[in-house]
Chain A
Amino acid sequence: EAQVTQNPRYLITVTGKKLTVTCSQNMNHEYMSWYRQDPGLGLRQIYYSMNVEVTDKGDVPEGYKVSRKEKRNFPLILESPSPNQTSLYFCASSFETGDDNEQFFGPGTRLTVL
């Protein structure tokens, strides 16, 4: 089954404790992206990657890191989480080319930073 998977689905942590949210897709997509969703703001892009070893900042990259060592994986790293990073996080992927390329979203990771 074609899908984007994220782990963990739920996480409660404390300020300053490094964490990684994994994202993996099995569709051989070049493009992967991370979004955060906050009430009243919709989804905002954090980072994106156009292919292996190619990453770039989105609209809200502060406090996050990413890496793209393999095509299928795109982990999101919070080196020192803070309470304002409490949010619902989505990973998404798509093929790079094409006009109507749908972005496939993972199931979401709900993060709470105390």
Chain B
Amino acid sequence: AQKITQTQPGMFVQEKEAVTLDCTYDTSDPSYGLFWYKQPSSGEMIFLIYQGSYDQQNATEGRYSLNFQKARKSANLVISASQLGDSAMYFCAMREGMDSSYKLIFGSGTRLLVRP
């Protein structure tokens, strides 16, 4: 079974509007972390935001926020006021457990295109 599922291969959004990128995850470990990375066309992986499984509040970083619904096992990324520079691939990733086997499990990604 997929550990991280991103069901939207591609999405369009109008500049200045908000957009939600979906991510659902599957784990039986009570302790885990959820990450979002951005990959522009230049290829590098840029860390955006982190949510821990025990965090009481949804994470926010500037225009990025994470809509964390633990019971539904979803961790959707919300980008407010989209900019042309937001056009990129976005990956959701999960780290399971708190031991030192630090591995990120990635989803297949969502390509976001921002229209002017």
Contact = CB atoms under 8 A, between A and B. Distances in A.
Interface in B66-113: 91, 93, 98, 100-104, 106-109
Contacts of B35: 102-103
Contact of B102 (A40, A41, A42, A94): A94
Interface residues of B, number: 22
A76 B108 CA distance: 23
A64 B65 CA distance: 37
Interface residues of A, dominant DSSP: strand
A64 B91 CA distance: 25
Contacts of B106: 35, 42-44
Interface of A: 31, 33, 35, 40-45, 48, 50, 56, 58, 88, 90, 92, 94, 96-97, 99-105, 107-108, 110
9 closest A-B pairs by CB: A42-B106, A105-B45, A43-B106, A108-B43, A100-B50, A102-B47, A42-B108, A107-B44, A45-B103
